[in-house]
Amino acid sequence: TREPSIYAIGDVIDRVALTPVALAEGEIVVQSLFSQSNIDMNYKNVPTTVFSIPSLGTVGLTENKAVELDLDVDIYTTTVNPLKHSLSGREEPALLKLVVDRPTDRVIGLHMVGPDAGELVQGFAVAMNCGATKADFDKTVGIHPTLAEEFVTMRTKRKVAIEAASR
């Protein structure tokens, strides 16, 4: 706030309205007050999930937001039935998507609808905050058979035509 002795966190500051974000903001306030440190909150690549069936996990920019920002992006998507269900014959398809900034090759968005989406997206959020590129994903050996391996084996891309998307 503009008042030096008043701090605000959480939903009232109109940033990312998630409980873990408010907790992190509170921790930063405590650090600022009692240890004289000046830590900034990192609002970039905050992962979130919807605990539905199927669950949804997301971190970074969506394809639509990237287009809105006039970014030159490649999109990688796949739909799979998790291999863990192959013996049972159970159908529980998952949709996975990567949004990659073409000029830098950085992964700027990662999205998933399917089982354990929140668990999967959390780890990839760390990678994205470390600047992971699509090339980093490509040279990572996946754990087989997992859904996470699908993110590191995506090879088919489509370029988003910014001009066409803005019409």
Mean local confidence (pLDDT), 62-82? 95
Beta-strand pair 48-50/94-101: unpaired
Q: What is the pLDDT of residue 161?
A: 63
Q: Which of 29-33, 91-95, 108-112 has the highest mean pLDDT?
A: 108-112
* Helix H or strand E segment including 112: strand 107-113
- Output the DSSP codes for 81-109: --GGGTTTT----EEEEEEEETTT-BEEE
**Catalytic-role residue among 144, 163, 166, 167:** 144
Q: How confident is the model at residue 57 (pLDDT cuts 50, 70, 90)?
A: very high
Question: What is the C-alpha to C-alpha distance for residues 8 and 35, in angstroms, rounded to an integer?
Answer: 18
Residue 72 has pLDDT above 50, yes or no: yes
Please enumerate in sequence order all residues whose Cβ is within 8 A of that of 78, keeping only pairs 6 or more positions apart, or say none. Answer: 95, 96, 150, 154, 156
- Both 23 and 98 in one domain: the answer is no
Q: How confident is the model at residue 4 (pLDDT cuts 50, 70, 90)?
A: confident
Q: What is the pLDDT of residue 33?
A: 85
Mean pLDDT of the chain: 90
Residue 26 has pLDDT above 60, yes or no: yes
Tell me the chain's radius of gyration from C-alpha atoms: 19
Q: How confident is the model at residue 163 (pLDDT cuts 50, 70, 90)?
A: low
Question: What is the C-alpha to C-alpha distance for residues 88 and 83, in angstroms, rounded to an integer?
Answer: 10
Q: What is the pLDDT of residue 164?
A: 47
Question: 6-31 burial by CB neighbour count: b if 16+ within 10 A, else e?
Answer: eeebbeeeeebeeeebbebbeebeee
- Both 75 and 104 in one domain: the answer is yes
- Both 99 and 117 in one domain: the answer is yes
pTM value is 0.84
- Both 27 and 80 in one domain: the answer is no
- Both 70 and 120 in one domain: the answer is yes
What is residue 63's three-state secondary structure? Answer: helix
- In terms of residue numbers, what domain contains 8? 1-43
- The distance in angstroms from the start CA to the end CA of the chain is 40
Q: Which of the pair, 6 or 141, is modelled with greater confidence?
A: 141
Residue 158 lies in a domain: no
Question: How far, in whole angstroms, is CA 55 from its chain's centroid?
Answer: 14
Q: How confident is the model at residue 162 (pLDDT cuts 50, 70, 90)?
A: low
**85 an active-site residue?**
no
Q: How confident is the model at residue 167 (pLDDT cuts 50, 70, 90)?
A: very low
Residue 161 lies in a domain: no
- Both 53 and 81 in one domain: the answer is yes
